[in-house]
Amino acid sequence: MYIADEKRYEKMLYRRLGTSGLKLPVLSFGLWYNFGEENDYETCKSMILKCFDNGITHFDLANNYGPPAGHAEKVFGRILKEALMPYRDEIIISTKAGYYMWPGPYGDFGSRKYLMASINQSLERLGLDYVDIFYHHRYDPNTDLKETMTALRDIVLQGKALYVGLSNYKSEQLIAAHKLLDEMHVPYVITQPSYSMLNRWIETDNLLDTQYDLGGGTIAYSVLAQGKLTNKYINEIPEDSRAKNKAAIWFTEKDITDELREKLVKLDQISKRRGQNIAQMALAWALRNPKLTSVLISTSKLSQLDDNLKTLENLEFSEAELIEIDAILK
């Protein structure tokens, strides 16, 4: 029988999610790619429980996470049933819908039909009556925004989600969506963009300030650029790395360029001076702005999780370090 570490909340830092009553750990755990049919269940379970034992209370899913789609929710639902259900009120569970999920014209994007079906399917896979946060996973340019936002409202009114979020929305889209949600008194609290040292679009979009002004918080994904921002690619590409995984079509060996390696070598020099590796520094760098509530980590091994957790040992940057990092990233 699992019993959580009594000192778990002493091990983590928490930031308030906008003006809401929620706080999130600065490190949240995402189940995007490492909780599929090919992944060992006991390893998955051990990672989730280790997260909770270290104060990570927020677990981020989506209907299409796996692979195959839906499998991550099934795995997390099993872990809940076997170990974490006694702690349900101490956990924030989020899921999303917006990407391709099933064939035909109703299994994608942002229609009311798709979102209503998706939340029901997700709850069934998770074995839950509700999730804490339900996101629209991406902006839908072909569906009236009011239809999508009204569906989110009704999901809350039906008691299937406590709060709503918007993922992969730009500032202009967030403002328009927030106006509708606010008029309908929907508890919108969070947006989830991609953000990393190698992907800084939210800075030019002014997304953090926009979201802050709307009263919401922000959680970033792909903060390690799907593994590029680690020490593993400085020299040779490891055989067990994501870049060597033929199924990982979004990240291949071709992405490990000489230019990237040059940046990694220089970033490694700074991280060593900080007592960190590149991954730890990259996570801390993303959190340097207090308007970023949390960053998502996602690991396939307990050793990687241990490594990520050590990020908390040094979250501060000097002005000189930030200038030096910016010069490398240009």
Give me the residue label for tokens 């055989």: 239
d(CA 284, CA 295): 9
Place 236 in a pLDDT band, splitting at 50, 70 and 90.
confident
Q: Is residue 224 a contact partner of residue 230, using CB atoms and an 8 Å limit?
A: yes
What digits encode the pLDDT tens for the residues 53-112?
A: 999 999 999 999 999 999 999 999 999 999 999 999 999 999 999 999 999 999 999 999
Q: What band does 125 get if pLDDT is binned at 50, 70 and 90?
A: very high
Angle at which helix 71-79 crosses helix 112-126, to 10 degrees, equals 40
Return the percentage of the chain with pLDDT > 90, whole number: 92
Strand pairing category for 23-25 and 14-16: antiparallel
- Average pLDDT, stretch 198-203? 98
Q: What residue ranges in the chain does DSSP mark as E strands?
A: 14-16, 23-25, 27-30, 58-60, 92-97, 131-136, 161-167, 188-192, 217-220, 294-297
Q: What percent of the chain has pLDDT over 70?
A: 95
pLDDT class of 247 with cuts at 50, 70, 90: low
Q: What is the reported pLDDT for 132?
A: 99
* CA atoms of 124 and 10, how far apart (whole Å): 33
Q: Residue 261 has what pLDDT?
A: 94
Query: What's the average model confidence in pLDDT over 238-264?
Result: 72
Where do the DSSP E strands lie in 257-330? 294-297
The domains found in the chain, sorted by start residue, are: 8-227+277-315 (3.20.20.100)
Long-range pairs for 247-251: beta carbons < 8 A, 24 or more residues apart? 247/67, 248/33, 250/226, 251/226, 251/227
Counts for the chain of helices (H) and strands (E), in that order: 11, 10
Joined tokens for residue 24? 């999130």
**pLDDT computed for residue 249 by the predictor:** 59
What's the pLDDT tens digit per position in 151-164?
A: 999 999 999 999 99
Q: What string of DSSP letters covers 146-190?
A: HHHHHHHHHHHHTTSEEEEEEES--HHHHHHHHHHHHHTT--EEE
Tell me the pLDDT tens digit for each residue of 213-227. Answer: 999 999 999 999 999
Radius of gyration of the chain (CA): 19
Among 94, 63, 329, residue whose Cα is nearest residue 219: 94
pLDDT value at 243 more than 60: no
Average pLDDT (292-296) is: 98
> Is 288:322 a contact under the CB 8 Å cutoff?
yes
- Provide mean pLDDT across the span 10-25: 98
